[in-house]
């Protein structure tokens, strides 16, 4: 999701729709190399809320992941 100079990305939604957002400042980092989510928690919170509110079901079942609003939180975070 883009909002002004910010871009929020959540990877592996099919595995866990509650993975943390990554946040990029496209003005200063157009290549999206530096995740600044930890430095701007209020922006992350706002964009996370906007993403959850904007989510709608896809016409393709392949892309209909569980809605985080209806599913219990999971503690099986991906390890890198």
Instruction: State how far the Cα of 2 lies from the Cα of 26, in Å rounded to an integer.
Output: 9
Q: Which domain holds residue 30?
A: 2-63
CATH number at residue 29: 3.30.1120.10
What is the total count of domains within the chain?
1
What's the gap between Cα 45 and its chain centre? 10
The answer as to whether 22 is a domain residue is yes
The answer as to whether 77 is a domain residue is no
- The answer to whether the beta carbons of residues 48 and 8 sit under 8 Å apart is yes
**pLDDT value of position 71:** 45
Quick: pLDDT tens for 33-77. 999 999 999 999 999 988 878 766 666 766 666 555 544 444 444
pLDDT above 70 covers what percent of the chain?
Answer: 68
**pLDDT value of position 55:** 66
Query: Could you tell me the pTM of the whole model?
Result: 0.67
**pLDDT value of position 72:** 46
The answer as to whether 78 is a domain residue is no
């Amino acid at each position: 999701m883009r909002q002004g100079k910010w871009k929020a990305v959540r990877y592996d939604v099919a595995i866990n729709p509650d993975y943390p957002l990554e946040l990029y400042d496209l003005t200063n980092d157009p290549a999206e190399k530096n995740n600044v989510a930890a430095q701007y928690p209020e922006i992350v919170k706002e964009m996370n809320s906007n993403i959850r509110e904007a989510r709608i079901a896809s016409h393709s079942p392949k892309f209909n992941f569980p809605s985080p609003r209806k599913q219990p939180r999971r503690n099986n975070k991906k390890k890198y």
